[in-house]
């Protein structure tokens, strides 16, 4: 039988990193590997979540001799408050990202840098929200939709509009459990207020607010971010691209866009397509301009433009270490401050663009929607001018890259499913063909693998091992964020990767013409996954807790990830984690996040640092759901 031998192993990826690391050593500069060593072992109190510095009587730490802080807060209260603060921070990050985009939509105009790219999606949202559309200019509609969206952050009454998109069973759970998300900013402020000195000390109450605040992200901020991005830049469609550092070009001006907010990177990508700029690059001795992405910005531009992806989170310093980057432009989130000083070892210009993420040593070009396109052009010129300063004695571009097919939002998945059965049910389509495949056992289920990579474990290895095992066992994977990028680097987004899958999944890949892992976008696009799971549950006629669909974040690290994990659990989907949340110092908190939430939402965490044990638990979990459904 045919096989797919073109997988890039973790060992190969590590060998390339080691080679780049040689350059860092030669230049006498450090990277995360060194800093990680210096930070190990980590502070035990922080690791266990039992250090409180929420007031200046502290910091207080829970130890064998001190079971309470000065105010009397115990380990459960302290760990619970720290945990809720992580959720609040994560919720604020995703949601503020969406808020910025809503302002961009509010300022969009037919002749401006930002236009409405997908009128149909805008009109659908306007109808959903009761915004008048008939005989109106599309930009008037856009501006009013943006206003309604912005009100979701601070409205004094009511709950998030998008929760009506959830299946009725879920809405009922949220209402009965009193975790329906209200205004986004309110849920964040409430979380911060509850955790202020002298307020909530009951761990369960803190966990409940975590669920509620996270819902204002998943079914609020993140979903707004995704919707508005689609309206402004188009719903992603299937594209062929490539991934890993081999996408850098030795004869071209290499510009990396890194971060999360696509408003900035879209301008850079569009400007780079201008003939005047590529001609300009040629006058400077380069063959052209090569824009590549890092982290979630990479996912955004890959899915909409086919821009190639240089890599994920822990690869950001490696990109600079190639010595072949003329400019790295960053926007917000997951950007190492270390990039500024590392860039100084090379000719690389390191440019920050947002007031939210300012870094000493960077060139700061505050990006403004009104002048965005012009600013992007200026930056590209600056990068081109920098090409001649590249020092070839410091250049090493690892040769490895993989072909990838990306761009599978719900709309695309439905379209492809429709294509095989002609079972077009209604305007929104149906997941029934996928459900039939699951019921028949051709597919055992589906897993959303998401999140970061993390030096607490062998980076990327857990993603890799878990994916490989699930594919072999006929489990379809949807991926976002840095996980999707690992899948890209490994070669799992190549349609030919079907040959590493079980016979059932391979058949589905053939029939639907998809790679075995569907790239659904950036981390804000986990909201797409919530709609996907809800759509499957709706078409199946059961609750989301019942379908053999689970989530997994094998190497999560950010506060955003904690917020995401909580809204996934709130949506009724079990979350398998490969990194322990920092609450271990409280047995009650450990019980709450693994068992307690099951009584509230029907789902919880399963935690195991060993990827092989974790994937076994995942397969067991899927089979248990199948058995309960009688399939
Ligand atoms: O939002 S997966 S390291 S890049 S937090 Fe960050 Fe984690 Fe990557 Fe995207 Ni998500
Ligand atoms: Fe210590 Fe309580 Fe202050 Fe926390 S809030 S630092 S436990 S006194």
Q: The domain that contains 130 carries what CATH number? A: 1.20.1270.30
Residues 317 and 455 reside in one and the same domain: no
Closest ligand 2 atom to Cα of 59:
6
Q: What is the pLDDT of residues 386-400, one digit of tens each?
A: 999 999 999 999 999
Measured from the alpha carbon of residue 522, the closest ligand is 1
Contact between 7 and 318 under an 8 Å Cβ cutoff? The reply is: no
Q: How far is the CA of 535 from the centre of ligand 1 (A)?
A: 25
Q: How far is the CA of 324 from the centre of ligand 1 (A)?
A: 24
Of 115, 332, 62, 324, give the one whose Cα is nearest residue 233: 115
Q: Name the domain count of the chain.
A: 3
Q: Which of 394, 426, 451 represents a domain boundary (last residue)? A: 394
Domain assignment present for residue 416? The answer is yes
Q: Which of 364, 394, 424 represents a domain boundary (last residue)? A: 394
Alpha carbon nearest to ligand 2 atom 4, residue: 52
For residues 461 and 551, what is the distance between their CA atoms, to the nearest angstrom? 17
The model's confidence at residue 107, banded by pLDDT at 50, 70 and 90, is very high
Residues 204 and 245 reside in one and the same domain: no
Tell whether the model's pLDDT for residue 518 goes beyond 70.
Answer: yes
Q: How far is the CA of 112 from the centre of ligand 1 (A)?
A: 30
Domain assignment present for residue 19? The answer is no
Domain assignment present for residue 171? The answer is yes
Alpha carbon nearest to ligand 2 atom 7, residue: 69
Q: What is the pLDDT of residue 357?
A: 98
Q: Are strands 308-311 and 289-294 parallel, antiparallel or unpaired?
A: parallel
Q: What is the pLDDT of residue 422?
A: 56
Residues 503 and 588 reside in one and the same domain: yes
Q: How far is the CA of 167 from the centre of ligand 1 (A)?
A: 28
Residues 127 and 60 reside in one and the same domain: yes
Show the domain range for 156: 50-233
Q: How far apart are the first and last CA of the chain?
A: 29
Q: What is the pLDDT of residue 428?
A: 57
* Upper half-sphere CA count for residue 147 (Cβ side, 13 Å): 8
Closest ligand 2 atom to Cα of 77:
7
Answer yes or no: is the C-beta of 58 below 6 A from any ligand 2 atom. Answer: yes
Residues 381 and 513 reside in one and the same domain: no
For residues 334 and 63, what is the distance between their CA atoms, to the nearest angstrom? 33
Contact between 607 and 580 under an 8 Å Cβ cutoff? The reply is: yes
Tell whether the model's pLDDT for residue 423 goes beyond 70.
Answer: no
Q: How far is the CA of 626 from the centre of ligand 1 (A)?
A: 31
Closest ligand 1 atom to Cα of 480:
2
Query: Which residues sit with their C-beta closer than 6 Å to ligand 1?
Result: 260, 295-296, 312-313, 334, 451-452, 481-482, 522-523, 558, 560-561
Residues 511 and 571 reside in one and the same domain: yes
Domain assignment present for residue 42? The answer is no
Q: What is the pLDDT of residue 419?
A: 73
For residues 452 and 129, what is the distance between their CA atoms, to the nearest angstrom? 34
Closest ligand 1 atom to Cα of 295:
4
Residue 296: both structure tokens together: 């979630």
Q: How far is CA 342 from CA 65, 242, 405, in A?
A: 44, 26, 32
Residues 212 and 90 reside in one and the same domain: yes
Residues 621 and 592 reside in one and the same domain: yes
The pLDDT > 70 percentage for the chain reads 98
Residue 492: both structure tokens together: 């799992």
Q: What is the pLDDT of residues 303-335, one digit of tens each?
A: 999 999 999 999 999 999 999 999 999 999 999
Mean pLDDT of 475-494: 98
Q: What is the pLDDT of residue 57?
A: 98
Q: How far is the CA of 144 from the centre of ligand 1 (A)?
A: 31
Q: What are phi and psi of 502, to 5 degrees?
A: -65, 165
Residues 611 and 511 reside in one and the same domain: yes
Q: How far is the CA of 422 from the centre of ligand 1 (A)?
A: 37
Residues 386 and 414 reside in one and the same domain: no
Q: Which of 394, 424, 452 represents a domain boundary (last residue)? A: 394
Of 103, 305, 218, give the one whose Cα is nearest residue 530: 218
Q: What is the pLDDT of residue 430?
A: 87
Secondary element (H or E) of residue 178: none
Q: The domain that contains 460 carries what CATH number? A: 3.40.50.2030
Residue 503: both structure tokens together: 């016979």
Domain assignment present for residue 10? The answer is no
Mutate to test the pocket of ligand 1, among 453, 523, 577 (most ligand atoms within 8 A of CB): 523
Mutate to test the pocket of ligand 2, among 56, 57, 61, 85 (most ligand atoms within 8 A of CB): 57
Residues 308 and 177 reside in one and the same domain: no
Domain assignment present for residue 32? The answer is no
Q: What is the pLDDT of residue 605?
A: 98
Mutate to test the pocket of ligand 1, among 560, 567, 577 (most ligand atoms within 8 A of CB): 560
Measured from the alpha carbon of residue 45, the closest ligand is 2
Per the listing, tokens 């002609």 go with 422
Q: What is the pLDDT of residue 413?
A: 94
Q: What is the pLDDT of residue 55?
A: 98
Measured from the alpha carbon of residue 297, the closest ligand is 1
Q: What is the pLDDT of residue 425?
A: 52
Domain assignment present for residue 183? The answer is yes
- Cα Rg of the chain (Å, integer): 24
Alpha helices by DSSP H, 177-235: 184-194, 203-216, 222-233
Mean pLDDT of 69-92: 98
The pLDDT > 90 percentage for the chain reads 97
Residues 335 and 254 reside in one and the same domain: yes
Measured from the alpha carbon of residue 217, the closest ligand is 1
Domain assignment present for residue 3? The answer is no
Q: What is the pLDDT of residue 421?
A: 63
Higher pLDDT, 4 or 212: 212
Q: How far is the CA of 561 from the centre of ligand 2 (A)?
A: 26
Contact between 87 and 210 under an 8 Å Cβ cutoff? The reply is: yes
Q: With the C-alpha atoms ordered 492, 19, 522, 561, is the resulting torsion angle positive or negative?
A: positive
Residue 171: both structure tokens together: 């809405």
Tell whether the model's pLDDT for residue 17 goes beyond 60.
Answer: yes
Mean pLDDT of 606-612: 98
Alpha-carbon dihedral of residues 353, 354, 357, 358, nearest 10 degrees? 60
Whether the link from the prior residue into 41 is cis, omega within 30° of 0, is: yes
For the chain, the average pLDDT equals 96
The model's confidence at residue 4, banded by pLDDT at 50, 70 and 90, is confident
Measured from the alpha carbon of residue 561, the closest ligand is 1
The model's confidence at residue 2, banded by pLDDT at 50, 70 and 90, is confident
């Amino acid at each position: 039988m045919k096989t797919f031998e073109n997988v890039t192993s973790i060992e190969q990826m590590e060998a390339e990193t080691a080679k780049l690391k040689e350059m860092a050593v030669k230049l006498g500069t450090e990277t995360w590997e060194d800093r990680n060593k210096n930070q190990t072992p980590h502070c035990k109190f922080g690791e266990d979540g039992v250090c409180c510095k929420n007031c200046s009587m502290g910091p207080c730490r829970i130890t064998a001799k001190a079971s309470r802080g000065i105010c009397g807060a115990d380990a459960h209260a302290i760990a619970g408050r720290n945990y809720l603060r992580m959720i609040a921070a994560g919720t604020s990050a995703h949601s503020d990202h969406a808020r910025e985009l809503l302002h961009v939509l509010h300022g969009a105009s037919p002749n401006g840098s930002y236009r409405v790219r997908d009128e149909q999606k805008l009109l659908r949202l306007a109808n959903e929200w009761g915004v008048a559309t008939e005989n109106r200019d599309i930009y008037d509609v856009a501006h009013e939709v943006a206003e309604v969206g912005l009100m979701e952050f601070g409205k004094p009454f009511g709950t998030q509009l998008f929760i009506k998109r959830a299946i009725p069973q879920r809405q009922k759970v949220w209402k009965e459990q009193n975790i329906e998300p209200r205004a986004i900013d309110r849920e964040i402020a409430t979380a911060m207020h509850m955790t202020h000195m002298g307020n909530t000390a009951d761990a369960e109450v803190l966990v409940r607010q975590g669920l509620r605040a996270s819902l204002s992200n998943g079914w609020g901020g993140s979903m707004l971010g995704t919707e508005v991005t689609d309206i402004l830049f188009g719903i992603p469609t299937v594209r062929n691209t490539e991934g890993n550092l081999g996408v850098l070009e030795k004869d071209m001006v290499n510009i990396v866009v890194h971060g999360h907010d696509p408003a900035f990177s879209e301008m850079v990508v569009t400007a780079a397509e201008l003939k005047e700029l590529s001609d300009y690059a040629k006058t400077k001795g380069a063959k052209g301009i090569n824009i590549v992405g890092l982290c979630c910005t990479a996912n955004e531009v890959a899915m909409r433009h086919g821009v190639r992806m240089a890599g994920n989170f822990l690869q950001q310093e490696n990109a600079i270490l190639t010595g072949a980057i003329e400019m790295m432009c960053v926007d917000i989130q997951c950007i190492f401050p270390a990039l500024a000083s590392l860039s100084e070892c090379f000719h690389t210009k390191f440019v920050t663009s947002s007031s939210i993420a300012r870094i000493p040593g960077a060139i700061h070009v505050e990006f403004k929607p009104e002048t965005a396109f012009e600013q992007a052009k200026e930056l590209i010129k600056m990068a081109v001018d920098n090409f001649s300063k590249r020092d070839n004695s410091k250049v090493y571009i690892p040769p490895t890259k993989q072909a990838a097919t990306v761009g599978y939002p719900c709309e695309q998945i439905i379209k492809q499913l429709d294509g095989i059965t002609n079972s077009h049910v209604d305007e929104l389509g149906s997941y029934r063909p996928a459900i039939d495949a699951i019921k028949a056992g051709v597919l055992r289920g589906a897993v959303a693998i998401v999140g970061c990579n993390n030096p607490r474990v062998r980076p990327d290895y857990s993603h890799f091992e878990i994916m490989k095992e699930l594919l072999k066992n006929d489990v379809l994977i949807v991926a976002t964020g840095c996980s999707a990028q690992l899948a890209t680097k490994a070669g799992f987004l190549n349609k030919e990767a079907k040959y590493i899958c079980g016979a059932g999944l391979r058949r589905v890949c053939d029939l639907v013409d998809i790679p075995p892992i569907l790239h659904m976008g950036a981390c804000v696009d986990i909201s797409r996954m919530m709609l996907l799971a809800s759509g499957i549950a709706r078409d199946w006629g059961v609750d989301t807790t019942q379908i053999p669909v689970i989530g997994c974040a094998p190497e999560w690290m950010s506060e955003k990830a904690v917020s995401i994990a909580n809204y996934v659990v709130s949506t009724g989907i079990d979350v398998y984690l490969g990194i322990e949340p920092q609450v271990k110092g409280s047995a009650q908190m450990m019980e709450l996040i693994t068992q307690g939430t099951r009584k509230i939402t029907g789902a919880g965490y399963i935690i195991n640092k060993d990827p092989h044990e974790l994937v076994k638990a995942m397969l067991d979990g899927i089979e248990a759901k199948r058995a309960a459904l009688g399939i």
